[in-house]
Structure 1
Amino acid sequence: MGRRKQVLDAAVSSLHSLGIDAYGFEGDVCKQEDARRVVESTVKHFGHLDILVNAAAGNFLVSAEDLSSNGFRTVMDTDSVGTFTMCHEALKYLKKGGHGRNSSRGGSILNISATLHYAATWYQIHVSAAKAAVDSITKNLALEWGTDYDIRVNGIAPGPIGDTPGMSKLVPDEIKSKTRVHMPLYKEGQRWDIAMAALYLVSDAVLASINL
Protein backbone atom coordinates (compact mmCIF):
# COMPACT_ATOMS: atom_id res chain seq x y z
CA MET A 1 0.00 0.00 0.00
CA GLY A 2 1.28 3.46 -0.86
CA ARG A 3 0.42 6.80 -2.36
CA ARG A 4 2.72 6.61 -5.40
CA LYS A 5 1.66 4.21 -8.14
CA GLN A 6 5.09 4.18 -9.76
CA VAL A 7 6.73 2.99 -6.55
CA LEU A 8 4.02 0.37 -5.99
CA ASP A 9 4.34 -0.96 -9.53
CA ALA A 10 8.12 -1.28 -9.16
CA ALA A 11 7.76 -3.18 -5.88
CA VAL A 12 5.12 -5.53 -7.28
CA SER A 13 7.19 -6.16 -10.40
CA SER A 14 10.22 -7.02 -8.26
CA LEU A 15 8.19 -9.49 -6.20
CA HIS A 16 6.65 -11.04 -9.30
CA SER A 17 10.16 -11.65 -10.66
CA LEU A 18 10.76 -13.83 -7.58
CA GLY A 19 7.60 -15.82 -8.19
CA ILE A 20 5.68 -14.13 -5.37
CA ASP A 21 1.97 -13.37 -5.79
CA ALA A 22 1.87 -9.66 -4.99
CA TYR A 23 -0.58 -6.84 -5.53
CA GLY A 24 -0.22 -3.12 -4.89
CA PHE A 25 -3.03 -0.94 -3.58
CA GLU A 26 -2.94 2.85 -3.82
CA GLY A 27 -3.95 4.57 -0.61
CA ASP A 28 -3.07 7.10 2.07
CA VAL A 29 -2.87 5.84 5.68
CA CYS A 30 -3.99 9.29 6.85
CA LYS A 31 -7.40 8.67 5.29
CA GLN A 32 -9.61 6.17 7.09
CA GLU A 33 -11.62 5.45 3.95
CA ASP A 34 -8.40 4.50 2.13
CA ALA A 35 -7.31 2.27 5.00
CA ARG A 36 -10.65 0.47 5.04
CA ARG A 37 -10.74 0.08 1.26
CA VAL A 38 -7.20 -1.31 1.04
CA VAL A 39 -7.69 -3.78 3.90
CA GLU A 40 -10.95 -5.01 2.42
CA SER A 41 -9.43 -5.23 -1.07
CA THR A 42 -6.51 -7.23 0.32
CA VAL A 43 -8.83 -9.76 1.95
CA LYS A 44 -10.94 -9.95 -1.20
CA HIS A 45 -7.85 -10.56 -3.36
CA PHE A 46 -5.98 -13.05 -1.14
CA GLY A 47 -8.84 -14.50 0.90
CA HIS A 48 -7.43 -13.60 4.32
CA LEU A 49 -5.14 -11.19 6.16
CA ASP A 50 -2.37 -12.66 8.31
CA ILE A 51 0.15 -9.84 8.81
CA LEU A 52 0.00 -6.05 8.90
CA VAL A 53 3.23 -4.05 8.68
CA ASN A 54 3.00 -0.32 9.39
CA ALA A 55 5.97 1.52 7.90
CA ALA A 56 4.54 4.80 6.59
CA ALA A 57 6.55 7.81 7.74
CA GLY A 58 7.23 11.45 6.99
CA ASN A 59 10.31 13.44 7.91
CA PHE A 60 12.16 16.69 7.30
CA LEU A 61 14.71 18.70 9.24
CA VAL A 62 13.30 21.70 11.09
CA SER A 63 13.92 23.42 14.40
CA ALA A 64 11.09 23.43 16.93
CA GLU A 65 10.98 27.22 16.67
CA ASP A 66 10.41 27.12 12.92
CA LEU A 67 8.05 24.12 12.86
CA SER A 68 4.43 25.00 12.15
CA SER A 69 1.51 23.29 13.85
CA ASN A 70 0.45 22.00 10.45
CA GLY A 71 3.88 20.47 9.84
CA PHE A 72 3.81 18.82 13.27
CA ARG A 73 0.30 17.52 12.68
CA THR A 74 1.15 16.13 9.24
CA VAL A 75 3.93 13.92 10.61
CA MET A 76 1.80 12.82 13.56
CA ASP A 77 -1.06 11.93 11.20
CA THR A 78 1.17 9.87 8.91
CA ASP A 79 3.24 8.04 11.51
CA SER A 80 1.04 7.62 14.59
CA VAL A 81 -2.57 8.19 13.52
CA GLY A 82 -1.91 6.25 10.31
CA THR A 83 -0.50 3.33 12.29
CA PHE A 84 -3.52 3.21 14.60
CA THR A 85 -5.97 3.57 11.71
CA MET A 86 -4.46 0.66 9.78
CA CYS A 87 -4.43 -1.52 12.91
CA HIS A 88 -8.04 -0.65 13.70
CA GLU A 89 -9.28 -1.42 10.20
CA ALA A 90 -7.34 -4.71 10.06
CA LEU A 91 -8.45 -5.97 13.48
CA LYS A 92 -11.61 -7.82 12.47
CA TYR A 93 -9.64 -9.87 9.95
CA LEU A 94 -6.52 -10.44 12.05
CA LYS A 95 -8.47 -11.76 15.03
CA LYS A 96 -10.03 -14.49 12.90
CA GLY A 97 -6.73 -16.35 12.97
CA GLY A 98 -3.41 -16.02 11.24
CA HIS A 99 -2.11 -17.83 8.17
CA GLY A 100 -5.52 -18.11 6.53
CA ARG A 101 -6.61 -21.16 8.45
CA ASN A 102 -8.84 -21.94 11.38
CA SER A 103 -6.47 -21.25 14.23
CA SER A 104 -6.68 -20.39 17.89
CA ARG A 105 -4.04 -17.74 17.26
CA GLY A 106 -4.68 -14.37 15.73
CA GLY A 107 -2.58 -12.66 13.12
CA SER A 108 0.45 -10.45 13.57
CA ILE A 109 1.10 -6.70 13.53
CA LEU A 110 4.53 -5.14 13.10
CA ASN A 111 5.05 -1.42 13.62
CA ILE A 112 8.23 0.30 12.42
CA SER A 113 9.37 3.02 14.81
CA ALA A 114 12.76 4.73 15.37
CA THR A 115 15.21 5.63 18.14
CA LEU A 116 15.04 9.42 17.82
CA HIS A 117 12.87 9.83 20.91
CA TYR A 118 14.95 7.71 23.26
CA ALA A 119 16.92 10.81 24.22
CA ALA A 120 16.67 13.94 22.07
CA THR A 121 17.54 14.59 18.43
CA TRP A 122 18.24 17.93 16.82
CA TYR A 123 15.51 19.21 14.49
CA GLN A 124 13.37 16.10 14.92
CA ILE A 125 10.79 17.07 17.55
CA HIS A 126 7.89 16.21 15.24
CA VAL A 127 9.20 12.78 14.26
CA SER A 128 10.33 12.01 17.82
CA ALA A 129 6.83 12.69 19.11
CA ALA A 130 5.25 10.61 16.34
CA LYS A 131 7.55 7.62 16.87
CA ALA A 132 7.05 7.77 20.65
CA ALA A 133 3.33 7.50 19.92
CA VAL A 134 3.93 4.51 17.64
CA ASP A 135 5.86 2.77 20.44
CA SER A 136 2.99 3.44 22.83
CA ILE A 137 0.42 2.15 20.34
CA THR A 138 2.48 -1.01 19.90
CA LYS A 139 2.69 -1.70 23.63
CA ASN A 140 -0.98 -1.04 24.31
CA LEU A 141 -2.23 -3.13 21.39
CA ALA A 142 0.13 -5.94 22.40
CA LEU A 143 -1.49 -5.88 25.83
CA GLU A 144 -5.13 -5.58 24.74
CA TRP A 145 -5.22 -7.52 21.49
CA GLY A 146 -2.65 -10.06 22.64
CA THR A 147 -4.82 -10.84 25.65
CA ASP A 148 -8.19 -10.70 23.92
CA TYR A 149 -7.40 -12.17 20.48
CA ASP A 150 -3.90 -13.67 20.68
CA ILE A 151 -2.69 -11.19 18.06
CA ARG A 152 1.06 -10.63 18.26
CA VAL A 153 1.97 -6.93 18.11
CA ASN A 154 5.67 -6.13 17.85
CA GLY A 155 7.80 -3.18 16.90
CA ILE A 156 11.18 -2.55 15.30
CA ALA A 157 13.01 0.67 16.13
CA PRO A 158 15.82 1.10 13.58
CA GLY A 159 18.75 3.41 14.13
CA PRO A 160 20.46 4.99 11.10
CA ILE A 161 19.88 2.81 8.03
CA GLY A 162 22.44 3.66 5.38
CA ASP A 163 20.82 2.57 2.12
CA THR A 164 17.65 4.66 2.46
CA PRO A 165 16.49 7.93 0.87
CA GLY A 166 15.92 9.30 4.38
CA MET A 167 19.59 9.04 5.31
CA SER A 168 20.75 10.70 2.10
CA LYS A 169 18.21 13.49 2.58
CA LEU A 170 18.59 14.09 6.31
CA VAL A 171 22.24 13.34 7.07
CA PRO A 172 25.05 14.98 5.05
CA ASP A 173 28.09 12.82 4.24
CA GLU A 174 30.38 14.86 6.50
CA ILE A 175 28.11 14.12 9.49
CA LYS A 176 27.82 10.42 8.60
CA SER A 177 31.57 9.91 8.86
CA LYS A 178 31.67 11.50 12.33
CA THR A 179 28.68 9.61 13.75
CA ARG A 180 29.91 6.13 12.79
CA VAL A 181 32.43 6.13 15.66
CA HIS A 182 29.50 6.24 18.11
CA MET A 183 27.74 3.22 16.57
CA PRO A 184 28.20 -0.19 18.26
CA LEU A 185 29.49 -1.87 15.07
CA TYR A 186 31.03 1.35 13.67
CA LYS A 187 28.70 1.19 10.70
CA GLU A 188 25.15 2.04 9.70
CA GLY A 189 22.45 -0.58 9.45
CA GLN A 190 21.11 -1.81 6.13
CA ARG A 191 17.58 -2.46 4.92
CA TRP A 192 18.38 -6.18 4.90
CA ASP A 193 18.90 -6.06 8.68
CA ILE A 194 15.39 -4.69 9.19
CA ALA A 195 13.91 -7.14 6.70
CA MET A 196 15.37 -10.12 8.55
CA ALA A 197 14.15 -8.83 11.93
CA ALA A 198 10.68 -8.28 10.45
CA LEU A 199 10.59 -11.77 8.93
CA TYR A 200 11.53 -13.31 12.26
CA LEU A 201 8.94 -11.37 14.27
CA VAL A 202 5.99 -12.26 12.02
CA SER A 203 6.98 -15.91 11.57
CA ASP A 204 6.30 -18.96 13.73
CA ALA A 205 10.01 -18.98 14.64
CA VAL A 206 9.39 -16.29 17.23
CA LEU A 207 6.80 -18.55 18.90
CA ALA A 208 9.33 -21.37 19.10
CA SER A 209 11.86 -19.11 20.81
CA ILE A 210 9.27 -17.88 23.31
CA ASN A 211 8.33 -21.47 24.21
CA LEU A 212 11.91 -22.50 24.92
Structure 2
Amino acid sequence: FSCCRRMAEIPEDVQSDDCLSSYTHIYSPDLLKDQVAFITGGGSGIGFRIAEILMRHGCDTVIASRNLEKLTEAAKKLTTATGRHCLPLQMDVRQPDIISAGVDEVLKEFGRVDILINNAAGNFLCPATSLSFNAFKTVLEIDTMGTFNTSKILYEKWFKDHGGSIVNISATLGYRGQALQVHAGSAKAANDAMTRHLAVEWGPSGVRVNTVAPGPISGTEGYRRLGGSYAESSGVFQGIPLQRPGNKTEMAHAVLFLASRAASYITGTTVVADGGAWLTSPNDMERVLGITSSPSAKL
Protein backbone atom coordinates (compact mmCIF):
# COMPACT_ATOMS: atom_id res chain seq x y z
CA PHE A 1 0.00 0.00 0.00
CA SER A 2 2.73 2.47 0.98
CA CYS A 3 4.60 1.84 -2.29
CA CYS A 4 1.45 2.47 -4.35
CA ARG A 5 0.79 5.61 -2.33
CA ARG A 6 4.33 6.89 -2.96
CA MET A 7 3.96 6.29 -6.69
CA ALA A 8 0.62 8.12 -6.71
CA GLU A 9 2.31 11.20 -5.24
CA ILE A 10 4.80 11.45 -8.12
CA PRO A 11 3.52 13.97 -10.71
CA GLU A 12 2.99 13.11 -14.35
CA ASP A 13 5.99 13.26 -16.67
CA VAL A 14 7.23 12.03 -20.06
CA GLN A 15 10.83 11.19 -20.95
CA SER A 16 10.89 13.10 -24.24
CA ASP A 17 10.72 16.85 -24.84
CA ASP A 18 6.97 16.75 -25.29
CA CYS A 19 4.13 18.21 -23.27
CA LEU A 20 2.26 16.14 -20.73
CA SER A 21 -0.80 14.30 -22.02
CA SER A 22 -2.52 14.97 -18.68
CA TYR A 23 -1.78 17.25 -15.75
CA THR A 24 -3.10 17.54 -12.20
CA HIS A 25 -2.87 21.03 -10.73
CA ILE A 26 -1.41 21.23 -7.24
CA TYR A 27 -1.76 25.01 -7.15
CA SER A 28 -4.52 27.18 -8.55
CA PRO A 29 -4.46 27.25 -12.38
CA ASP A 30 -4.51 31.08 -12.08
CA LEU A 31 -1.45 31.26 -9.82
CA LEU A 32 0.60 33.11 -12.48
CA LYS A 33 -2.29 34.56 -14.46
CA ASP A 34 -1.11 37.05 -17.12
CA GLN A 35 2.48 37.06 -15.90
CA VAL A 36 5.46 36.61 -18.25
CA ALA A 37 8.42 34.30 -17.65
CA PHE A 38 11.78 34.45 -19.43
CA ILE A 39 13.43 31.00 -19.48
CA THR A 40 16.96 30.38 -20.75
CA GLY A 41 17.59 26.87 -22.01
CA GLY A 42 13.83 26.56 -22.36
CA GLY A 43 13.70 24.45 -25.51
CA SER A 44 14.41 21.07 -23.93
CA GLY A 45 14.75 19.08 -20.73
CA ILE A 46 13.96 20.71 -17.40
CA GLY A 47 13.63 24.14 -19.03
CA PHE A 48 10.94 22.89 -21.40
CA ARG A 49 8.92 21.38 -18.55
CA ILE A 50 9.31 24.53 -16.47
CA ALA A 51 7.87 26.52 -19.37
CA GLU A 52 4.95 24.11 -19.67
CA ILE A 53 4.09 24.11 -15.96
CA LEU A 54 4.29 27.90 -15.68
CA MET A 55 2.07 28.21 -18.75
CA ARG A 56 -0.44 25.75 -17.28
CA HIS A 57 -0.72 28.19 -14.38
CA GLY A 58 -1.63 31.17 -16.56
CA CYS A 59 1.80 32.46 -17.55
CA ASP A 60 3.08 33.46 -20.98
CA THR A 61 6.69 32.54 -21.65
CA VAL A 62 9.82 33.35 -23.59
CA ILE A 63 12.09 30.37 -24.21
CA ALA A 64 15.63 31.31 -25.20
CA SER A 65 18.63 29.35 -26.47
CA ARG A 66 21.00 29.18 -29.46
CA ASN A 67 18.97 26.68 -31.50
CA LEU A 68 16.06 28.56 -33.07
CA GLU A 69 14.71 25.51 -34.89
CA LYS A 70 14.40 23.53 -31.66
CA LEU A 71 12.91 26.54 -29.88
CA THR A 72 10.29 27.11 -32.58
CA GLU A 73 9.19 23.49 -32.41
CA ALA A 74 9.07 23.61 -28.62
CA ALA A 75 7.05 26.84 -28.62
CA LYS A 76 4.43 25.29 -30.90
CA LYS A 77 4.09 22.28 -28.59
CA LEU A 78 3.80 24.48 -25.51
CA THR A 79 1.19 26.81 -27.00
CA THR A 80 -0.89 23.91 -28.31
CA ALA A 81 -0.88 22.14 -24.94
CA THR A 82 -1.56 25.17 -22.74
CA GLY A 83 -3.27 27.83 -24.86
CA ARG A 84 -0.75 30.43 -23.66
CA HIS A 85 1.65 32.50 -25.76
CA CYS A 86 5.25 31.25 -26.04
CA LEU A 87 7.88 33.33 -27.83
CA PRO A 88 10.99 31.49 -29.12
CA LEU A 89 14.06 33.72 -28.84
CA GLN A 90 17.44 32.85 -30.34
CA MET A 91 20.04 34.00 -27.84
CA ASP A 92 23.48 33.15 -26.46
CA VAL A 93 23.72 33.89 -22.73
CA ARG A 94 27.45 34.56 -23.15
CA GLN A 95 26.78 37.64 -25.29
CA PRO A 96 25.32 40.61 -23.34
CA ASP A 97 24.52 42.64 -26.48
CA ILE A 98 22.41 39.77 -27.85
CA ILE A 99 20.64 39.36 -24.50
CA SER A 100 19.94 43.09 -24.32
CA ALA A 101 18.39 43.12 -27.79
CA GLY A 102 16.35 40.04 -26.90
CA VAL A 103 14.99 41.60 -23.72
CA ASP A 104 14.00 44.70 -25.71
CA GLU A 105 12.09 42.44 -28.11
CA VAL A 106 10.37 40.68 -25.23
CA LEU A 107 9.32 43.94 -23.57
CA LYS A 108 7.97 45.18 -26.89
CA GLU A 109 6.01 41.93 -27.36
CA PHE A 110 4.66 41.47 -23.82
CA GLY A 111 5.17 44.81 -22.09
CA ARG A 112 6.57 43.15 -18.96
CA VAL A 113 8.68 40.34 -17.49
CA ASP A 114 7.78 39.00 -14.06
CA ILE A 115 9.95 35.90 -13.77
CA LEU A 116 13.45 34.95 -14.93
CA ILE A 117 14.54 31.31 -14.93
CA ASN A 118 18.31 30.91 -15.48
CA ASN A 119 18.45 27.35 -16.77
CA ALA A 120 21.03 27.47 -19.60
CA ALA A 121 23.96 25.16 -18.82
CA GLY A 122 26.61 22.90 -20.30
CA ASN A 123 28.06 19.71 -18.82
CA PHE A 124 29.85 16.46 -19.60
CA LEU A 125 32.00 13.93 -17.75
CA CYS A 126 35.74 14.57 -17.84
CA PRO A 127 38.70 14.11 -15.47
CA ALA A 128 40.30 17.40 -14.44
CA THR A 129 43.63 16.32 -15.95
CA SER A 130 41.98 15.80 -19.35
CA LEU A 131 39.84 18.92 -19.22
CA SER A 132 41.05 21.55 -21.66
CA PHE A 133 41.41 25.10 -20.40
CA ASN A 134 38.89 26.23 -22.98
CA ALA A 135 36.34 23.60 -21.92
CA PHE A 136 36.52 24.71 -18.28
CA LYS A 137 36.22 28.35 -19.32
CA THR A 138 33.27 27.67 -21.62
CA VAL A 139 31.23 25.92 -18.93
CA LEU A 140 31.77 28.86 -16.56
CA GLU A 141 30.88 31.29 -19.33
CA ILE A 142 27.57 29.52 -20.01
CA ASP A 143 26.55 28.61 -16.47
CA THR A 144 27.95 31.45 -14.39
CA MET A 145 28.51 34.40 -16.71
CA GLY A 146 25.28 33.52 -18.54
CA THR A 147 23.32 33.65 -15.30
CA PHE A 148 24.88 36.98 -14.32
CA ASN A 149 24.53 38.50 -17.79
CA THR A 150 20.84 37.69 -18.13
CA SER A 151 19.99 38.65 -14.55
CA LYS A 152 21.82 41.99 -14.72
CA ILE A 153 20.26 43.00 -18.05
CA LEU A 154 16.73 42.09 -16.99
CA TYR A 155 17.24 43.88 -13.67
CA GLU A 156 18.40 47.06 -15.39
CA LYS A 157 15.70 47.02 -18.07
CA TRP A 158 12.71 45.96 -15.93
CA PHE A 159 13.10 44.41 -12.49
CA LYS A 160 14.75 47.47 -10.90
CA ASP A 161 11.58 49.53 -11.29
CA HIS A 162 8.93 46.79 -11.21
CA GLY A 163 10.23 43.96 -9.02
CA GLY A 164 10.27 40.32 -10.03
CA SER A 165 11.40 36.81 -9.23
CA ILE A 166 14.61 35.11 -10.39
CA VAL A 167 15.09 31.35 -10.03
CA ASN A 168 18.50 29.88 -10.87
CA ILE A 169 18.83 26.19 -11.72
CA SER A 170 21.87 24.78 -9.94
CA ALA A 171 23.08 21.27 -8.99
CA THR A 172 24.37 19.41 -5.95
CA LEU A 173 27.72 18.53 -7.59
CA GLY A 174 29.84 20.84 -5.49
CA TYR A 175 28.40 20.03 -2.07
CA ARG A 176 30.88 17.20 -1.48
CA GLY A 177 33.05 17.31 -4.57
CA GLN A 178 32.45 14.82 -7.37
CA ALA A 179 34.94 13.22 -9.74
CA LEU A 180 34.76 14.25 -13.41
CA GLN A 181 32.71 17.36 -12.58
CA VAL A 182 35.13 20.09 -11.50
CA HIS A 183 33.94 22.40 -14.29
CA ALA A 184 30.19 22.14 -13.64
CA GLY A 185 30.55 21.94 -9.86
CA SER A 186 32.66 25.10 -9.79
CA ALA A 187 30.20 26.96 -12.01
CA LYS A 188 27.17 25.98 -9.94
CA ALA A 189 28.91 26.80 -6.65
CA ALA A 190 29.54 30.30 -8.00
CA ASN A 191 25.86 30.58 -8.97
CA ASP A 192 24.73 29.54 -5.50
CA ALA A 193 26.83 32.37 -4.05
CA MET A 194 25.51 34.76 -6.72
CA THR A 195 21.95 33.93 -5.64
CA ARG A 196 22.69 35.12 -2.10
CA HIS A 197 24.55 38.27 -3.18
CA LEU A 198 21.87 39.38 -5.65
CA ALA A 199 19.09 38.61 -3.16
CA VAL A 200 20.74 41.02 -0.72
CA GLU A 201 21.42 43.78 -3.25
CA TRP A 202 18.17 43.60 -5.19
CA GLY A 203 15.74 42.88 -2.37
CA PRO A 204 15.00 46.58 -1.81
CA SER A 205 13.80 46.74 -5.44
CA GLY A 206 11.27 43.98 -4.77
CA VAL A 207 13.32 41.33 -6.55
CA ARG A 208 13.51 37.85 -5.02
CA VAL A 209 16.41 35.59 -6.08
CA ASN A 210 16.37 31.88 -5.29
CA THR A 211 17.85 28.61 -6.54
CA VAL A 212 16.63 25.09 -7.21
CA ALA A 213 19.36 22.43 -7.08
CA PRO A 214 18.18 19.23 -8.81
CA GLY A 215 19.65 15.80 -8.25
CA PRO A 216 19.48 13.07 -10.93
CA ILE A 217 16.48 13.91 -13.14
CA SER A 218 15.25 11.39 -15.70
CA GLY A 219 14.41 12.35 -19.26
CA THR A 220 17.12 15.00 -19.52
CA GLU A 221 20.30 15.33 -21.55
CA GLY A 222 22.25 15.57 -18.31
CA TYR A 223 20.79 12.27 -17.12
CA ARG A 224 21.91 10.61 -20.35
CA ARG A 225 25.36 12.21 -20.40
CA LEU A 226 26.18 11.78 -16.72
CA GLY A 227 25.48 8.08 -16.33
CA GLY A 228 21.84 8.05 -15.23
CA SER A 229 20.99 4.86 -17.12
CA TYR A 230 23.96 3.07 -15.56
CA ALA A 231 22.97 4.26 -12.10
CA GLU A 232 19.42 3.01 -12.69
CA SER A 233 20.46 -0.45 -13.86
CA SER A 234 23.10 -0.92 -11.15
CA GLY A 235 20.80 -0.02 -8.25
CA VAL A 236 22.62 3.18 -7.29
CA PHE A 237 19.31 4.96 -6.71
CA GLN A 238 18.50 2.59 -3.84
CA GLY A 239 20.96 4.69 -1.86
CA ILE A 240 18.75 7.76 -2.23
CA PRO A 241 16.23 8.15 0.62
CA LEU A 242 13.35 8.37 -1.89
CA GLN A 243 14.98 5.49 -3.85
CA ARG A 244 14.49 6.88 -7.36
CA PRO A 245 15.58 9.68 -9.67
CA GLY A 246 13.43 12.77 -9.84
CA ASN A 247 11.42 13.84 -12.86
CA LYS A 248 11.19 17.10 -14.79
CA THR A 249 7.71 17.95 -13.52
CA GLU A 250 8.93 17.79 -9.93
CA MET A 251 11.67 20.31 -10.74
CA ALA A 252 9.13 22.53 -12.48
CA HIS A 253 6.90 22.43 -9.39
CA ALA A 254 9.82 23.57 -7.21
CA VAL A 255 10.45 26.46 -9.61
CA LEU A 256 6.73 27.29 -9.74
CA PHE A 257 6.64 27.60 -5.95
CA LEU A 258 9.69 29.87 -5.74
CA ALA A 259 8.62 32.03 -8.70
CA SER A 260 5.09 32.56 -7.40
CA ARG A 261 3.50 34.56 -4.60
CA ALA A 262 3.40 31.33 -2.57
CA ALA A 263 7.08 32.11 -1.81
CA SER A 264 6.62 35.87 -1.38
CA TYR A 265 8.90 36.08 1.68
CA ILE A 266 11.58 33.69 0.45
CA THR A 267 14.79 35.03 -1.08
CA GLY A 268 18.47 34.08 -1.12
CA THR A 269 17.58 30.42 -0.61
CA THR A 270 18.63 27.22 -2.36
CA VAL A 271 15.97 24.50 -2.49
CA VAL A 272 17.69 21.14 -2.92
CA ALA A 273 15.34 18.92 -4.92
CA ASP A 274 17.24 15.63 -5.07
CA GLY A 275 15.23 13.15 -3.00
CA GLY A 276 17.88 13.43 -0.27
CA ALA A 277 20.56 12.01 -2.59
CA TRP A 278 23.46 14.24 -1.57
CA LEU A 279 22.94 13.30 2.08
CA THR A 280 23.27 9.55 1.63
CA SER A 281 24.55 8.50 -1.80
CA PRO A 282 28.12 7.14 -1.68
CA ASN A 283 30.75 9.23 -3.43
CA ASP A 284 31.96 6.11 -5.24
CA MET A 285 35.18 7.37 -6.80
CA GLU A 286 36.27 4.01 -8.19
CA ARG A 287 32.99 3.59 -10.08
CA VAL A 288 32.83 7.20 -11.29
CA LEU A 289 36.46 7.29 -12.39
CA GLY A 290 35.86 4.07 -14.29
CA ILE A 291 33.21 5.65 -16.47
CA THR A 292 34.51 6.01 -19.99
CA SER A 293 35.20 9.62 -20.84
CA SER A 294 37.02 11.25 -23.70
CA PRO A 295 40.79 11.77 -23.23
CA SER A 296 40.23 15.46 -23.85
CA ALA A 297 37.11 17.60 -23.63
CA LYS A 298 36.91 20.52 -25.99
CA LEU A 299 34.09 23.00 -26.46
In the TM superposition, residue 115 of structure 1 has moved relative to its aligned partner by 0.2
Map of 1:100 onto structure 2: none
Map of 1:44 onto structure 2: 108
Map of 1:12 onto structure 2: 75
Moved >6 Å (runs of 4+)? none
In the TM superposition, residue 174 of structure 1 has moved relative to its aligned partner by 2.9
Contact 1:51 1:94 in 2 (8 A): no
Map of 1:72 onto structure 2: 136
Amino acid in the other structure paired with 1:181? Q
Distance in 1 (CA, whole Å) between partners of 2:230 and 2:87 is 40
TM (norm. structure 1) is 0.91
Aligned counterparts, 1:107-146, within 5 A: 107-146=164-203
Amino acid in the other structure paired with 2:161? K
Map of 2:93 onto structure 1: 29
Aligned length: 201
Distance in 1 (CA, whole Å) between partners of 2:148 and 2:71 is 22
SS in 2 for 1:11: helix
SS in 1 for 2:85: coil
Contact 2:258 2:266 in 1 (8 A): no
Map of 1:95 onto structure 2: 160
Distance in 2 (CA, whole Å) between partners of 1:69 and 1:175 is 29
Amino acid in the other structure paired with 1:52? L
SS in 2 for 1:96: helix
TM (norm. structure 2) is 0.65
CA deviation map 1:131-171 (0-9, x unaligned): 0011011110011101x312000100001101112111220
Distance in 1 (CA, whole Å) between partners of 2:265 and 2:84 is 26
Distance in 2 (CA, whole Å) between partners of 1:186 and 1:135 is 26
- 1:149 counterpart (188, 202, 205): 205
Contact 2:208 2:266 in 1 (8 A): no
Map of 2:246 onto structure 1: 189
Residues 1:59 and 2:117 are matched in the alignment: no
CA deviation map 1:76-120 (0-9, x unaligned): 0000000000001000201222xxxxxxxx111110000000001
Distance in 2 (CA, whole Å) between partners of 1:207 and 1:60 is 35
SS in 1 for 2:98: helix
In the TM superposition, residue 208 of structure 1 has moved relative to its aligned partner by 7.4
CA deviation map 1:16-57 (0-9, x unaligned): 112111111101001111111111111111001111110000
In the TM superposition, residue 121 of structure 1 has moved relative to its aligned partner by 0.9
Cα distance change of structure 1 residues 186 and 40 upon mapping to structure 2, 3 Å threshold: same
Q: Could you say which structure has the higher helix fraction?
A: 1
SS in 1 for 2:185: helix
Identity %: 39
Amino acid in the other structure paired with 1:41? E
In the TM superposition, residue 175 of structure 1 has moved relative to its aligned partner by 2.8
Distance in 2 (CA, whole Å) between partners of 1:208 and 1:144 is 16
Higher RCO structure, 1 or 2 (CA under 8 Å, sep 6+): 2
